[in-house]
Amino acid sequence: MYIKKLKLKGFRNYVEAEFEFSPLTNVIYGDNAQGKTNILEAVYLFAQGRSHRAKSDRELVRFGEDFARLSVDFEDSKRSYSANMQIVKNGRKSVSINHVHIMKLSKLMSYLNVVMFSPEDLNLVKGSPNVRRRFIDSSLSQMYPLYLASLMEYNKALNQKNSLLKMLRAGGGRADPTLSVWNESLAQSGAKIMEARRGFVKRINKAAQKIQNEISGEKLYIKYHPSIRSEDISKDAIYEYLTAREAREIDMGSALYGVQRDDLEIFVDEREARLFGSQGQQRTSALSMKLAQAEYIKEIKGEYPVMLLDDIMSELDINRRMYLAERIRDKQVLITSTDTDLIDKSTDTKLFHIENGTVI
């Protein structure tokens, strides 16, 4: 799949701008703080429904403006799409695809697929578990809208359970029947989430292993490490697991078990990379995982996602850069960089020089 055109109006530091992308490599270059990442952020918004870095939509609207308008034209092997988004500073954002209003953001995700790779992702290996959970969730949510729905349901119930646990702890630690209502709800959505995550890790492993082997000859192994340590991940088994641990959760005043604490363990040559990997091994593993994410999307959807590479070239050594360049050569990729020397420019490469929110 590829993006033909992106238009921004009142978005971040753009007054008005239009980009016509090549179906292959696009290099967005310029000094720091000129608006390069803002372009990738705009694309990401259409794919995931929310920004990869803004805490609230308000930040996305240009200072002094009341709303932002974005549009993107893209196509896959079957058809073309034209999507519009309006972000109102003091209101909601609305999205339409081919003139049909999209009511739920989870519906938006199945149209435009992207894999974003930013310097922060080098933390996939050594960073905190939430970086790895986000990696799993963004992959699964793009492929399966129902996964995202379960996740949202789960988080709603989790918030309620946490408030209740805090209250129970403050009130002297007695159990309360409402707790089992929340556990029931968490077991129901949690079972679906765990099953999906288990399946995802199994699939991504194969691709990531192959890629890591090609880059460095190392043996990569990714293991799902669920918070709920049970082979049986049926709804009933999870409910029992949670019920058996109610007292401990009340003691702590917060939910200690469940998919909100899941993690991945990443091994390179049989050793846990987070603890024992060299920086090089950790970077290779992160790169392998991200490229495997693209393969995963291709496998399920039959289309490669658009690759968004934000400023990562300077973080990779020449071998990894060359491997990456080879791998993405026939796919659409938007690369930002302050230094165009780091990027392999074939004749198909389209360059965009960004200065202070304008293409020059």
**Which residues contribute to the site for ligand ADP (CB under 6 A)?**
12-13, 30, 32-38, 59, 61-63, 336
* Smallest distance from Mg ion to CB 9, Å: 21
Residue 79 structure tokens: 């058809």
Residue 226 structure tokens: 């669920």
Give the residue with the Cβ less far from Mg ion, 36 or 93: 36
Helices (H), strands (E): how many in the chain? 11, 15
Q: Is 282 an interacting residue with respect to Mg ion (CB under 5 A)? A: no
Of 163, 164, 137, 162, residue with least CA distance to 151: 137
Residue 59's binding partner, choosing from Mg ion, ligand ADP, none, with beta-carbon cut-off 5 to 8 A by kind?
ligand ADP
Give, to the nearest 10 degrees, the angle between helix 129-143 and helix 36-48. Answer: 60
Pairing of strands 263-268, 220-225: antiparallel
* Smallest distance from ligand ADP to CB 33, Å: 4
Give the residue with the Cβ less far from Mg ion, 233 or 312: 312
Give the residue with the Cβ less far from ligand ADP, 66 or 317: 66
Give the residue with the Cβ less far from Mg ion, 36 or 62: 36
In sequence order, the β-bridge partners of residue 268 are: 220, 271
* Smallest distance from ligand ADP to CB 315, Å: 15
Query: Is the Cα dihedral 297, 299, 301, 305 positive or negative?
Result: positive
Q: Is 337 an interacting residue with respect to Mg ion (CB under 5 A)? A: no
Give the residue with the Cβ less far from ligand ADP, 233 or 308: 308
* Contact (Cβ atoms closer than 8 angstroms) between residue 70 and residue 46: yes
Q: Is 118 an interacting residue with respect to Mg ion (CB under 5 A)? A: no
Q: Is 37 an interacting residue with respect to Mg ion (CB under 5 A)? A: yes
Of 90, 83, 241, 250, residue with least CA distance to 164: 250
* Smallest distance from ligand ADP to CB 354, Å: 6
Q: CA 119 → CA 123, 207, 263, 283, 286, distances in Å?
A: 8, 22, 20, 10, 10
Residue 98 structure tokens: 């081919």
* Contact (Cβ atoms closer than 8 angstroms) between residue 297 and residue 305: yes
Token pair 């200072």 is at which residue? Answer: 63
Q: Is 51 an interacting residue with respect to Mg ion (CB under 5 A)? A: no
* Smallest distance from ligand ADP to CB 340, Å: 14
* Smallest distance from ligand ADP to CB 59, Å: 6
Give the residue with the Cβ less far from ligand ADP, 23 or 357: 357
Residues of this chain that interact with Mg ion (CB under 5 A) are: 36-37
